[in-house]
Structure formats: C-alpha cells, structure tokens
C-alpha cells in the first residue's frame, strides 16, 4: 500500500530544495542580472569570480558577457580583463 504522507513529504522537500539560492545560474537570466546577483552574495566577493560563474559557454568556448546598459559592470570587466560586449 502506498503511503501518501511519505510521498507528500518527499515531494515537498524536493520543491523546497529547488528554491535553493545556490542552485546556479537560471536559464533565462541575463548576464547583467546574474552578475548583480552574484556580486551581492557572499559566495562570489570578487568581480572575477562572479564573472566566471556567469559566463556562458558555446561549444566549450567562453562567450563574452553581454553588459549592455551596465556601464558600471563594463568598467569592472575592463579592469578585470574579462571579455564583454556592449
């Protein structure tokens, strides 16, 4: 016989775990949004670490960060030597 209470507890745990802020970059998140989120977290205190986390890859090649309309992040990327497009 199926114990519905156990299944409900397991399913609730899985749902709550999906809301974990450490789950990584969201699929439709912009580079600017990702960088701002990561820079505000204690896990990525430097711009270089946050940029490494947020950069996308295509065919195993890092793509430049899309930093349109974010001149403050563009300056930080230039200072860190990280490729970006504006």
The predicted-structure confidence for 2-14, as pLDDT tens digits, reads as follows 688 888 887 777 6
Residue 10: the pLDDT is 79
Is position 84 within any domain? yes
Is position 1 within any domain? no
Q: Within 13 Å and on the Cβ side, how many CA atoms surround 38?
A: 23
Q: Are 44 and 38 in contact (CB under 8 A)?
A: yes
Coil/strand/helix, residue 2: coil
Total number of domains in the chain: 1
Residue 61: which domain range? Answer: 29-86
User: For the chain, what is the mean pLDDT?
Assistant: 83
pLDDT band at residue 42 under the 50/70/90 scheme: confident
- Of 40, 32, 12, the closest CA to residue 74 belongs to 32
Residue 79 has pLDDT above 90, yes or no: yes
The predicted-structure confidence for 14-32, as pLDDT tens digits, reads as follows 666 555 555 567 778 899 9
Is position 69 within any domain? yes
Q: Are 33 and 69 in contact (CB under 8 A)?
A: no
Is position 39 within any domain? yes
Sign of CA dihedral 7, 13, 19, 21: negative
Is position 19 within any domain? no
Is position 57 within any domain? yes
């Amino acid at each position: 016989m199926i114990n519905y209470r156990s299944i409900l507890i397991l399913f609730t745990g899985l749902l709550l775990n999906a809301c974990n802020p450490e789950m990584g970059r969201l699929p439709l998140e912009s580079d600017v949004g990702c960088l701002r989120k990561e820079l505000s977290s204690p896990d990525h205190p430097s711009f270089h670490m946050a940029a490494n986390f947020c950069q996308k890859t295509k065919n195993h090649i890092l793509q430049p960060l899309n930093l349109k309309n974010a001149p403050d992040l563009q300056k930080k990327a230039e200072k860190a030597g990280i490729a970006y497009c504006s």
